[in-house]
Structure 1
Amino acid sequence: QHLIFRLLSWLTMAALVPSLLAAAHLFVAASAFNTAPSAKVPTSNRRDALQRVGLGILGGAGILLPQPSPAAAAAADEEEMIDVYFGCGCFWHVQHEFVVAEQRILGRSEDDLTARAGYAGGRAKDDLVCYHNARGVGDYGTLGHAEVVALSIPPSSFPAFAEEYFKLFDDKGDRPDQFGDRGPEYRNLVGLPGGAKGPYGKQLVSASMVQGDKLDFAIGKGDDRDARAVSFVMDTAEFPLHVAERY
């Protein structure tokens, strides 16, 4: 009987959620209509109100939502950001993982995400860098670049993001698409301010050790090969990011 009662309670809550959300929409809409004609109601206010109602419903149902670390949030507000990039095969799945990491580690909203797909690691200095195309114009592979994902993060959070990178590899150091996407365009690489000898080189190695010491490292010289279980460390000043398909 107790089990049946709990089941009925959950079903009742599920039935009420759509009604509560609809009521929230009506409440926000009414607030907008009650505003003076000369005043403008920001879209973010409506979104925030709906989020508060939604969080209240989920909290009442006993569903725990991930909360950003207060220390990480403070660091994001106070520190000067650094630009880094990570390459591990095809950039689409890597971008997804780092979007999730930005939200979880730094508590960033969708409007504040910085994870961008791009190309880096080639010696060519061409400004026009594109995906493979029929015209062969600015082909990133021909220019020696690899697919990467760039981030702008607080320096104090770099070890956490480096660990997320190493989590992408299995125990043998193989990336998820190791035996699918092959060639220099998919090689493993990490771009850091100052490269391997800069302030983040040792932190990169330490993060690798924490995650099982799966990879070896080599100083990237540009146009590097695709080496299994090896990540090339690039200096972002010498090998900058080219954001994908912005042209």
Structure 2
Amino acid sequence: MKDEYGKLGHCEVVGLNIPQSSFKDFCKIYFSLYDKKGNRPDQLGDRGGEYRSIIGYPGGYSNVELTSIVKEVSEEFGGVVQVVEGKGNEEDRRGGTWVMDNGKFPFQMGELYHQFHDGFAPGENYPGEREGGGIRGVEFFFTF
């Protein structure tokens, strides 16, 4: 059964403001969270479109500068995560990250109970860069 936000085509994300000068470094952290087969640690339990991996930034996939950085870093990590254009309401899939236009698909605050927890499943021990709580999975949404 899909959560209410899943029925609307939404997915769980984390809203972050990242300086554009730090975007590549952030992408390195992002892709380091996947295993060598392109799996996220939470994908064994959390499945479906509401758990798909997305990256959102101005212009989305058509933003050549940022999309080239995302693809370049994905390749540095073995290219096991395919970077594709997101158009909304996609399904989750292993080894894939949807790139969204955060102007068309803006961040929206989710339920309060989702705000301050980390992973629950084995393997969801996230790195120190994620200190501060409120981060779950590897879905991120950027604004510059």
User: How many residues are paired up?
Assistant: 109
> Which of 102, 109, 112 matches 1:236?
102
Q: Please list the CA deviations of residues 158-205 of structure 1 after superposition, one character each: whole Å capped at 9, or x if unmatched.
A: 001011111110000000012211111111111111111213110111
Deviations 1:90-118 (A, max 9, x none): xxxxxxxxxxxxxxxxxxxxxxxxxxxxx
Aligned to 1:171: 36
Deviation at 1:150, TM superposition (A): 1.6
The runs of at least 4 consecutive aligned structure 1 residues that moved more than 6 Å come to none
TM norm structure 2: 0.71
- 1:194 counterpart = 2:59: yes
Segments of structure 1 that go 5 or more residues without pairing to the other structure are 1-131, 133-138
CA distance in 2, matches of 1:212, 1:157: 21
How far apart, in 1, do the equivalents of 2:88 and 2:98 lie?
9
Q: CA RMSD in A?
A: 1.3
Partners of 2:18 and 2:48 lie apart in 1 by 29
Query: Structure 2 unaligned runs (5+)?
Result: 113-144
User: 1:82 — aligned with what?
Assistant: none
Give distance in 1, aligned partners of 2:96 and 2:69.
17
Distance in 2 of aligned mates of 1:162 and 1:193: 16
Asked whether the equivalents of residues 70 and 83 of structure 2 are also in contact (C-alpha less than 8 Å), the reply is no
- Name the TM-score, length of structure 1 as normaliser: 0.42
CA distance in 2, matches of 1:190, 1:214: 16
Structure number with larger C-alpha Rg: 1
Structure 1 SS opposite 2:12 = strand
Counterpart-to-counterpart distance in 1, 2:108 and 2:38: 26
Percentage identity across paired residues of the two chains: 45
Cα distance in 1 for partners of 2:15, 2:90 equals 19
Q: Distance in 1 between matches of 2:109 and 2:50?
A: 15
Larger helix fraction of residues = 1
2:40 maps to a residue whose letter is R
